Structures are given as structure tokens and as C-alpha cells.
Amino acid sequence: MVNNAVLLPDERSRVYWLLSDFFLKPPTELSSTIWQMLKIPEQSIDSTSLHKEFTRLFRGIQEGYGPPPPYESLYRPNEFPTDITEAVLSYFQTGGFDAAVICDEPVDFLASEFRLMSLLAFKEHECRQNEDWELSQFFINLQREFLQNHLLIWVPDYCQILSEASRVNFYQQLASYISVFLQDIMKGYVAK
């Protein structure tokens, strides 16, 4: 696995965006980059079972049919859902993004949160390209705060649930990759 702690901002941006796609559409519609990232041979996957598993794992069709879908407000039961949604939305606004344009899903859906991180990392990249170190640091701080205050609070537990609930290796690999990726990124922020 790539040492995610040292990924450049544009690389982090791409990985976050690719990860968001996993929660928006079945993996058979994703690029071969995804398959390589997870180290799963693309031809070893049955597309019909992946479509079914995608729906079961991420769409919350019926209680007991699969795990609760990946909404931060569902995985942080000790907090009011509106408080979580407002907190996540504030990161979109602080970063200068219109959440409604970025993702059709609610802001606390995992794909939306990954898209936010992707855009923040891309803004950091642009600032570095323009040698605007102060603004670059602003976007680094937003990423670090969102990772600490949101993603790392619930996503590792969610990934454990996802891994246990999945009937196919693909989603078990995805869950493992996400957990390691987020931990590695945090280590990179701490090392700076």
C-alpha cells in the first residue's frame, strides 16, 4: 500500500474523490484505478453480486437487510443529527463550497464528506501552486480538523461494520483501505 501520510495534496484529492464514488455508484461502473488501488483483479468480480451488495450495504433499503447506511448522524447516536449536519455544512461553507452542487446526497453521507476532503485537498494544491502558503495552511487546517472532528470519530467503526456485513471480498477490502488511508493521513498531519 502507498504511504498515504506523504501523499501530495492533489494525490489525496484524487483518492478522496475515488473513495466517494464507492458510495455513490456500484463498483462495476468505476474506473480500473479503483480495482488497482484495492489490489483486486477486476475480472474476479461478479458485477451482479456487486450491484446487489452495493444496494444492501449502502442504501438502507430495510432495517436488518444490511447495516445502517453511511451517514455520520446514524453512527454518532449521542449527538443530535441536525447538529452533525450543521457542523459538516459549516466546513463546506468555510471552504467556499456549495454542498448542494458537490453531491446530491445529504452532507453527512460518507460520499459527501469524502468529496469535501477532496475539494479541500485540491484547494491546498492550488494554493501551493500559487505559492500562497498562508491560504494553503488554512486548507490543511480545515482538512485536519474535519478528519479529527468527523471522519475519524465514526468512519473506523463504520468500516468495521461494513467489513463484517459484506458478503463479498471487494467491500471488505474497501473497508480496510479506508481505515488505513484515514489513519495514515492523520499521521501525516501530526508529523508536520
The domains of the chain are located at 4-191
Q: What is the pLDDT of residues 66-113, one digit of tens each?
A: 899 999 999 998 889 999 999 999 999 999 999 988 889 999 999 999
| Homologous superfamily of domain range 4-191 | TorD-like (1.10.3480.10)
Angle at 67 between CA 53 and CA 88, to 5 degrees: 105
Q: What is the pLDDT of residues 2-60, one digit of tens each?
A: 455 568 999 999 999 999 988 998 876 555 666 666 666 665 667 788 888 999 999 88
What's the rounded Cα separation, in Å, for the pair 152 and 13?
17
What's the rounded Cα separation, in Å, for the pair 131 and 103?
29
Rounded to two decimals, what is the model's pTM?
Answer: 0.90
Q: What is the pLDDT of residues 1-17, one digit of tens each?
A: 445 556 899 999 999 99
